[in-house]
């Protein structure tokens, strides 16, 4: 069952995990004394300090180019990954068939509704968790972020308002109301939807979902999502059979 926890609480959990140099866990004691204040000073900045820096472009092994943005001390791709090749040049299996996707227990990717012509340029591809776990999806020098790295971004972008500050403005891509969207971070999150473990497509225009490299258990990875209906960031643990978007962060 999908476990969903709001970013307000989980930002504290992840900061605790980073401070203690331990693996991120969902069970915690909110009354436990931790060096949270020190880490908050390192990761939380005012909106005025959000930095846009697309001073160089990034290319994947297939030749797709990406804008990048510096947000605090992190450098992120400002677009979703759209490559059909690993960073060693080998092909990622394209799995279009519904039944084949549902039976897959190995790396694969797809385009939303199997329509790369309509979705590739703006939304990128949807990758299953097995492909993420190879560690070869992102261009050399970048990687799929850990859940701790996602939460540093969330803290910097404003916790409860982070979803709005990360989302592209307007309703060209996001369905109305696209609540709270300002894109002050320059992250330009788009609602690329997802593909479920049985091969069905969900959430186009309503939600964007992005993998982390951090395992929930042997068959799942943590991920974050943003919604048109609010300005929060939601953390979930999804089966590796699912297909979600990928953003890469600089090593």
Report how many domains make up the chain. 1
Burial class (CB in 10 A: 0-12, 13-18, 19+), 112: buried
Predicted confidence band of residue 56 (pLDDT cuts 50, 70, 90):
low
What's the token pair of residue 72? 């605090």
Predicted confidence band of residue 161 (pLDDT cuts 50, 70, 90):
confident
Residue 24 pLDDT: 31
> From the CB of residue 152, how many other CB atoms can be counted at a distance below 10 Å?
25
Domain extent for 237: 4-250
Lowest mean per-residue pLDDT among 46-50, 68-72, 90-94, 123-127: 46-50
Task: Give yes or no for a contact between 132 and 239, defined as CB atoms under 8 angstroms apart.
Answer: no
Residue with tokens 């203690």: 20
Q: Is the pLDDT of residue 115 over 90?
A: yes
What stretches of 71-115 show up as alpha helix (H) in DSSP?
Answer: 98-103
How would you list the strands of the sheet with 142-143, edge to edge? 68-71, 74-77, 249-250, 142-143
Closest-CA residue to 84 (of 126, 115, 112): 126
Strand partners, 213: none
User: For 172-185, how does the pLDDT look when each residue is reduced to its tens digit (9 = 90+)?
Assistant: 999 999 999 999 99
Residue 55 pLDDT: 52
Residues 6+ apart with CB under 8 A from 240: 128, 129, 130, 132, 133, 219, 220, 221
What stretches of the chain show up as alpha helix (H) in DSSP?
Answer: 7-19, 36-43, 98-103, 116-123, 129-133, 147-157, 162-166
> From the CB of residue 181, how many other CB atoms can be counted at a distance below 10 Å?
22
| Biggest CA-to-CA distance, the chain | 52
Residue with tokens 């309503």: 206
70-104: b (≥16 Cβ within 10 Å) or e: bbbebbbbbbbbbbbbbbeeeebeebeeeeebeeb
Decide which of 8 and 93 is more confident: 93
**pTM given for the model:** 0.80
Mean pLDDT of 217-237: 96
Residue 2 pLDDT: 44
Task: Decide: helix, strand or coil at residue 142.
Answer: strand
Task: Give yes or no for a contact between 232 and 6, defined as CB atoms under 8 angstroms apart.
Answer: yes
Residue 9 pLDDT: 38
């Amino acid at each position: 069952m999908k476990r969903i926890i709001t970013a307000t609480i989980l930002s504290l959990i992840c900061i605790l995990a980073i401070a203690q140099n331990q693996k991120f866990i969902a069970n915690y004691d909110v009354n436990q004394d931790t060096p949270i204040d020190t880490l908050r000073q390192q990761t939380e900045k005012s909106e005025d300090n959000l930095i846009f820096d697309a001073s160089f472009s990034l290319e994947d092994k297939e030749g797709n180019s990406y804008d990048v943005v510096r947000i605090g001390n992190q450098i992120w791709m400002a677009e979703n990954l759209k490559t059909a090749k690993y960073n060693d040049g080998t092909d990622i299996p394209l799995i279009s068939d519904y039944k084949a996707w549902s039976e897959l227990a190995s790396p694969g990717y797809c385009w939303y509704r199997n329509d790369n012509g309509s979705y590739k340029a703006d939304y990128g591809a949807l990758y299953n968790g097995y492909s993420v776990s190879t560690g070869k999806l992102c261009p050399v020098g970048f990687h799929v972020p850990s859940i701790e790295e996602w939460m540093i971004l969330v803290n910097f972008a404003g916790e409860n308002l982070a979803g709005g500050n990360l989302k592209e403005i307007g309703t060209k891509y996001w369905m109305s109301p696209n609540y709270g969207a300002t894109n002050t971070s320059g992250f330009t999150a788009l609602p690329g939807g997802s593909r479920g473990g049985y091969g069905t497509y969900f959430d186009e225009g309503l939600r964007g979902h992005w993998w982390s490299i951090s395992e929930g258990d042997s068959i799942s990875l943590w991920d974050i999502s943003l919604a048109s209906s609010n300005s929060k960031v939601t953390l979930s643990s999804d089966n590796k059979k699912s297909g979600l978007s990928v953003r890469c962060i600089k090593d």
